[in-house]
Chain A
Amino acid sequence: MSFVFLIFLPLLAALFIPLLFKKVGKIHTGWFVLVVPVALFIYYLSLLPTTIDGGNLVSEFQWIPSLDIAFVAYIDGLSLLFTLLITGIGALVVLYSIFYLDKHREQLHNFYVYLLMFMTAMLGIVQSDHLITLYLFWELTSISSFLLIGYWYTRDRSRFGALKSMMITVFGGLMMLGGFVLLSIMGDTYSIRELIPQAAELATHDFFIWALVLVLFGAFTKSAQFPFYIWLPDAMEAPTPVSAYLHSATMVKAGLYLVARLTPIFALSGTWMWLVAGVGLFTMFWGSFFALKQKDLKGILAFSTVSQLGLIMSLLGASAAGYHIDNIAETTFKYAGFAAIFHLINHAVFKGSLFMIAGIVDHETGTRDIRKLGGLMGLMPISFTVAMIGAFSMAGLPPFGGFLSKEMFLTAMLSLTEFDLFSMDVWGVLFPIVAWLGSVFTFIYSFYFVFHTFAGKHKPEELPKPAHEAPIGMLISPIFLALLVIVIFFIPNRVGDWLVKPAVMAIQPFLYNSPSEVDVHVSAWHGFNTELFMTLGIFAVGGLMFWTLHKWQKSYDRFPDSVSLNALYDNLMFMSDTGANRFSKLYMTGFIRSYLVYMFSFVVIIVLGTLFLTESFAFDVTNLAPIGFYEIVILLALVGSTLTILFSKSRLTAIIALGAVGYSVALFFVIFRAPDLALTQLVIETISVALFLLAFYHLPQISRKEERMRFRLGNALIALGVGVTMTLVALSAHSQKFLPSISEFYKETVYSEAGGGNIVNVILVDYRGFDTLFEIAVLGIAGIGIITMIKLRMTKKEGQHENK
């Protein structure tokens, strides 16, 4: 079975969603949708044994063979891991959404169509081996994310957030496309698999650094790294299932996936390592620091997502160090790649459950403002437990999965201090310090999230709705994820062997021959080493600072809003908007004449310029057709009737003269051996004249009083220019032929290949059938346009009558 088509399965299913929503209103549409991710998850699970042994699978589908563009689904450890996350979390999110979104009040068909579209896009990103299709799916996620954030499109904040996320991620996507194109120029292939073995040669190429920076733009904007993270908090306007799915577990990880996937290509560069690790780590600190400023539950989670993404990003950057070390298995550098993937899994699991809990709190109390919440512990015990598990895992407490990956993160950061390339030996010491600081704040905001919501004093008077526990259906998904958090802690090595090590293989393919060579053993207890003391320090300092949080949290408000990155974005948007407006007002006068003048002047300038610059003007008398008596008569008739049109005062004369021009042209066709044209022209001219008369019956006389002399002179000048230009073009075109015409081919093959005699007609219906197909489509559109114009008025008039 060629599994490349499975990527499109959600999209295919999306076609039926509106139908199901309209026809089967009694059953929540989500139940139908649920089938898709579940089926895909089970199918992809069956591929797991292949990747555990380090194998891979390829399935191809040609899309545009002439441009060498194909959908290539490439499944190895890394892409399978992401695929499972997408389908697995997807299934849970859909299940959750069934209870979250009311089937009567919400436009479920829109929601699920977008969601399925997103699923296809995401599967496409992680499985594409082809750079161009990867980019295609990449932008498709931006678009579906835009639609999902703007799902409640009547809210201003939703539209603002949707636009912001789209502007930033699409900007990054375009940059990334540039990087991809450079990569393909350098390596002469679009395939990532074929690029990777060329890594060493690519690194010396002139374009290399450009490609690197451009690709990172894409990854950083998508994964909300500093300074592009600003779209993520605003994206929280989306329905909570969307936030849980797109903005924590999957879409924002696309940037991480890209970095991981391209690490083998770029890792040899010091710039890559510095940028990825540095930006990642700084983002981690920045995000965790500002998470405490937030008052909105989902805002806290958004900043925490930014921070956690930064953490994983920095680990991926650190994993590049492995390329510069001999015998990696015996050093501590081996941990970075493993920790990155491991934490990625952990994060998807615990952050998904936390978002769902935030949604439940919002759903059951009517507010997400953490200042109004509190004391929900007794009212919502299950939610509280789940939230606590998720948050403790995020904070890095045992016995939860997050503890293990946090330990490894610290190990990896410490190992960087021993790295002696790219002036790491001087600055490397900063990495563990920043990492530690970030972890302290992570600890604090995790506690802030849980205990300010569930502990403390209950304030029922401030809640829009009386709080109570959520229905069991809504709780299934978060509970399941919370259980996973604990399970991962107890079987980390099983997870490592099955999922993490095959993925690490993809990040560091030169270093290992099979996943089992990735010599990392996860254990909760390492003995008394630096990491343990750092963790204990985090608990102690974090606990202390959380205890005193109410005293210093107010200091966040002293940061002026006007110098933030958000303000920069707003100003940029505002300026480009007004700037473009002012600019277009300069030349968009609203007079159709002005536009025509622009067009014709440019035609004259460009065409004459080209003729002049390329010296292509030529006049060859020998090739001219002999001019006979008939030609001269028709020519005179043509010119005469045109002049009549120009100077006629009555519309009837003008119309008839136009008809005369048409008939003269038809006669020309006869002389120049074009019987088909002559026939068509004759008939069409007849019908046109009838039509003109019909319509002109209602139109006023041609009035020329208001046209002043200067106005007409200007017109005449431009008209003369165009006329002269066209004459020159016609002469040159007539006098020289650079390429043999394809007509020869038509002439020779018309009988043998197409079985026809009338070459013109055969060209129309056979050789160039597409032209004709679209031509009749144009005809149809014109017909529809005319009908609507006529009928439109009729309904409007009736409406007016009713108003009276």
Chain B
Amino acid sequence: MSVVIGFLFMAAVYLMLSKSLIRIIIGTGLLSHGAHLLLLTMGGLGGISPPVVADGVSVSDYADPLPQALILTAIVISFAVTSFFLVLAYRSYQELGTDNMDLLRGTEDHE
């Protein structure tokens, strides 16, 4: 599991460092997946029953609900951020006609 998380992070970072805007966005998407899995692992993968109160299940048998709640929040936020990025990329491509990050740096005299 941990290796997979590491792998996801690696791929994400590699994509984010490239020059193409699309690849950067895909990279951020991957990064959030990796982060979600990391959160889940950190909480411990144990737990036999989902964290929903049911009869006949002792307290220790539930999966840890806290990381799940955190991930739920994170999923929605990452969705918002990804869509924001997408529109940003789309708009900047329309305006500037390039998606190459090296050409998108601020002008020299910009203070």
Contact = CB atoms under 8 A, between A and B. Distances in A.
Given A674-B71, A778-B77, 6 more contacts: A625-B45, A654-B26, A676-B68, A720-B10, A730-B5, A782-B81
A782 B106 CA distance: 24
B14 A759 contact: no
A700 B5 contact: no
Given A718-B13, A747-B62, A698 B94 contact: yes
A771 B9 CA distance: 25
A593 interface: yes
B52 A675 contact: yes
Contacts of A727: 2-3, 5-6
A662 to B, nearest CB: 7
A793 interface: yes
27 contacts: A589-B105, A590-B106, A596-B16, A600-B13, A642-B7, A645-B15, A661-B8, A661-B30, A665-B36, A668-B40, A672-B40, A673-B48, A684-B79, A695-B90, A719-B17, A724-B6, A730-B5, A730-B41, A741-B43, A747-B51, A748-B59, A758-B53, A759-B51, A760-B65, A763-B66, A764-B69, A778-B80
B72 A680 contact: yes
Contacts of A643: 11
Given A730-B42, A747-B51, A759-B62, A722 B9 contact: yes
Nearest to B54: A757
Nearest to B107: A590
A744 B105 contact: no
Interface string A760-804: 100110001001100100110011011001100100000000000
Interface string B85-101: 01111110111000111
A743 B69 CA distance: 11
A590 B105 contact: yes
A710 interface: no
Contact of A625 (B12, B17, B46): B46
Nearest to B63: A673
A677 B72 contact: yes
A716 B18 CA distance: 10
B30 A688 contact: no
A672 B73 contact: no
A700 B93 contact: yes
A324 interface: no
Interface in A266-286: none
B6 A718 contact: no
Interface stretch (A353-361, A446-454, A731-739): A731-739
A684 B15 contact: no
Contacts of A665: 33, 36-37
Nearest to B91: A789
How extensive is the interface on chain A, given as a class?
35 or more
Interface string A697-730: 0111011101100000001101110111111111
Interface of B: 1-24, 26, 29-30, 33-34, 36-38, 40-54, 59, 62-66, 68-69, 71-73, 75-77, 79-84, 86-91, 93-95, 99-102, 104-106, 111
A662 B42 contact: no
A639 interface: yes
B15 A673 contact: no
Contacts of B5: 726-727, 730
A680 to B, nearest CB: 6
A669 B75 CA distance: 12
A668 B62 CA distance: 17
A646 B14 contact: yes
A668 B63 CA distance: 14
Contacts of A757: 52-54
Contacts of A696: 22
A625 B13 CA distance: 27
B4 A639 contact: yes
A775 B77 contact: yes
Ranked nearest first, the 9 interchain pairs of A and B with the lowest CB-CB distance are: A723-B10, A727-B6, A590-B105, A719-B14, A730-B2, A782-B80, A759-B65, A625-B45, A763-B69
Nearest to A589: B105
B72 A793 contact: no
A751 interface: yes
Contact of A782 (B3, B84, B101): B84
B2 to A, nearest CB: 4
Nearest to A723: B10
